[in-house]
Amino acid sequence: MTATTTTTWEAVIGLEVHVELATATKLFCSCKNEFGAEPNTNICPVCLGLPGSLPVLGERAVEFALRVGEALQCTVPDHSLFHRKNYFYPDMPKDYQISQYDEPICVDGSLEVDGFRVGIERAHMEEDTGKTIHVGGGGRIHEADHSLVDYNRAGIPLMEVVSRPDLRSAEQSRAYVNELRGILQAIGVSDVKMEEGAFRIDANVSLRPEGAEALGTKVEVKNMNSIRSLGRALEYEIERQRGLLDAGERVMQETRHWDEDAGVTHTMRTKEEADDYRYFPEPDLVPVAPDSSTARVRMGDRRARGARTHRHARARRVRRGGGGRAALRHAEGRRELVHRRGARLPERDGLGARRATTRARRAGRARRPRRRRHAVTEPGQRRARRVPARAEATEAGRGGARARAGQRRK
């Protein structure tokens, strides 16, 4: 009789997080970076890719990118380069996307989350695409009656933060995303509103035998619109791949769409490789070369210290038992975590320390009643006291004037 052996599979997860930067204008033109405007109103020849238009890189977007790099402890190379990523989609007006390929602006970072370290492979800049709205058939492209395209989002600055495959479960992935989201909001580079598309997540999932070094065939999962959806999608995809491998079948490298209502993933397309995008350097943009003049946007900048402030506040709340980890997870990703009324703030230096102390004192101090300069019990009493005195002075003045007039007549 032959004993059957069951392979224990280990999940390997890497996340790609797209963050819309909260600049006033788009990445390569002066159109407004604004959510909720009327369709196709914040557009121009540059973000529509019309012939003869030339992109100009926005300085503020570069500052925000460097701030993200410092917050994630990345290395900032001497120069980085923009590339054209060629592919067709209806909401891509140029039929290519200006992105960064092999020379990104930030590389080799890390993020500490609940006692484990997640490596950051890269954080690069790129422009966002437009938005396609499928009308009819539940909003899916293959069931829709027709589609509408809004180009207001085309050209909005994005940072794509790519983690290394260091995550091993859906729970770890949620913790990582919560921590990253909180840091990005704390340093002021984005409002990270997932409901507005300012914070979007793609996951790369594969399985391998426990203890093995080689990675398995990865599957990319898209359309996760909340952190809860991220956890559900990862749990489903891990079980789906485990079922295939246990049955002796092969996992296909592909991109899959998460269906929130059905709780399953569906095949979208076969996974592309880098060669499919035909990357080449963007001929209309020069390399980005940060120098010493950008030091003010790095950790020396008081606002950029928000990442450390967020981490310190989080760690102290855990040590003090401030509501427990469940309450802490509920508060993650909110800037109010640091400035909550009555909370003890982390140490800060210089002017920031004085302001923090003043805020804490004001938060814990009761409002004092305004002191009156005169002890008046009735509203009209003060006036009643002064009127007779004023009348007596007036009569005395009139009497003195009559006496002096009589002396002159004599």
pLDDT at position 316 over 80: no
pLDDT in tens, 218-233: 999 998 989 999 999 9
- Residue 83: in which H helix or E strand, if any? strand 83-86
The number of CA neighbours under 13 Å toward the Cβ of 166 is 17
Taking a C-beta distance cutoff of 8 angstroms, is the pair 147, 27 a contact? no
374, 375, 383, 385, 386 from 379: Cα distances, Å? 11, 11, 8, 12, 13
Between 380 and 273, name the one with better pLDDT. 273
Q: Using 50, 70 and 90 to split pLDDT, how confident is the model at 273?
A: confident
* Predicted pLDDT of residue 143: 76
Q: The tokens of 34 are what?
A: 């604004």
Q: Which residues pair with 32 in a beta bridge?
A: 25
* Predicted pLDDT of residue 329: 45
Residues 351 and 226 in one domain: no
What does the alpha-carbon distance between residue 172 and residue 13 come to, in Å, rounded to a whole number?
Answer: 9
Instruction: Classify 297 as helix, strand or coil.
Output: helix
What does the alpha-carbon distance between residue 393 and residue 290 come to, in Å, rounded to a whole number?
Answer: 79
Taking a C-beta distance cutoff of 8 angstroms, is the pair 16, 202 a contact? yes
* Predicted pLDDT of residue 269: 82
Q: Which of 274, 295, 316 is the last residue of a domain?
A: 295
Burial code (b: 16+ CB inside 10 Å, e: under 16) for 329-365 equals eebbbbbebbebeebebbebeeeeeeebeeebeeeee
The answer to whether position 374 is within a domain reads no
pLDDT in tens, 167-218: 999 999 999 999 999 999 999 999 999 999 999 999 999 999 999 999 999 9
Share in percent of the chain as helix, strand, coil (round to 5): 35, 25, 45
Of the chain, the percentage scoring pLDDT greater than 70 comes to 69
Q: Which residues pair with 17 in a beta bridge?
A: 161, 201
What does the alpha-carbon distance between residue 306 and residue 72 come to, in Å, rounded to a whole number?
Answer: 12
User: Residue 99 phi/psi, 5° resolution?
Assistant: -140, -170
Between 350 and 227, name the one with better pLDDT. 227
- Residue 113: in which H helix or E strand, if any? strand 106-113
The answer to whether position 371 is within a domain reads no
Between 4 and 249, name the one with better pLDDT. 249
Most confident residue range from 127-136, 236-245, 265-274, 347-356: 236-245
What does the alpha-carbon distance between residue 362 and residue 344 come to, in Å, rounded to a whole number?
Answer: 12
* Predicted pLDDT of residue 5: 59
Q: Which of 254, 276, 295 is the last residue of a domain?
A: 295
Which residue range forms the structural domain that includes residue 84? Answer: 9-295
pLDDT in tens, 98-114: 999 999 999 999 999 98
The number of CA neighbours under 13 Å toward the Cβ of 139 is 7
Residues 328 and 237 in one domain: no
- Residue 127: in which H helix or E strand, if any? strand 116-127
The answer to whether position 404 is within a domain reads no
pLDDT in tens, 25-74: 999 999 999 999 999 999 999 999 999 999 999 999 999 999 999 999 99
Residues 330 and 221 in one domain: no
Q: The tokens of 149 are what?
A: 């395209």
What is the 8-class DSSP label of residue 356? H
Residues 36 and 93 in one domain: yes
* Predicted pLDDT of residue 371: 55
The answer to whether position 369 is within a domain reads no
Residues 267 and 315 in one domain: no
Residues 112 and 18 in one domain: yes
Tell the burial category of 264 from Cβ atoms under 10 Å away from its Cβ (0-12, 13-18, 19+).
middle
pLDDT at position 336 over 80: no
| Domains in the chain, number | 2
The answer to whether position 387 is within a domain reads no
The answer to whether position 151 is within a domain reads yes
Burial code (b: 16+ CB inside 10 Å, e: under 16) for 199-230 equals bbbbbbbbbbeeeeeeebbbbbbbbbeebebb
pLDDT in tens, 139-158: 667 778 888 999 999 999 99
Instruction: Classify 71 as helix, strand or coil.
Output: helix
pLDDT at position 2 over 80: no
The answer to whether position 389 is within a domain reads no
Q: The tokens of 87 are what?
A: 């592919």
Q: In what order do the strands lie in the sheet with 96-99?
A: 96-99, 83-86, 280-281
Between 271 and 356, name the one with better pLDDT. 271
What does the alpha-carbon distance between residue 357 and residue 350 come to, in Å, rounded to a whole number?
Answer: 11
Residues 157 and 188 in one domain: yes
- Cα dihedral sign, 176-20-37-96: negative
What rounded mean pLDDT belongs to the chain? 80
* Predicted pLDDT of residue 88: 85
The answer to whether position 384 is within a domain reads no
* Predicted pLDDT of residue 64: 96
| CA triple 317-321-324, angle to 5 deg | 90
Residues 111 and 248 in one domain: yes
Residues 253 and 315 in one domain: no
What does the alpha-carbon distance between residue 190 and residue 159 come to, in Å, rounded to a whole number?
Answer: 10
Between 357 and 325, name the one with better pLDDT. 357
Residues 125 and 94 in one domain: yes
Residues 320 and 263 in one domain: no
Residues 265 and 117 in one domain: yes
Nearest CA-CA partner of 297 in 19, 29, 26, 106 = 106
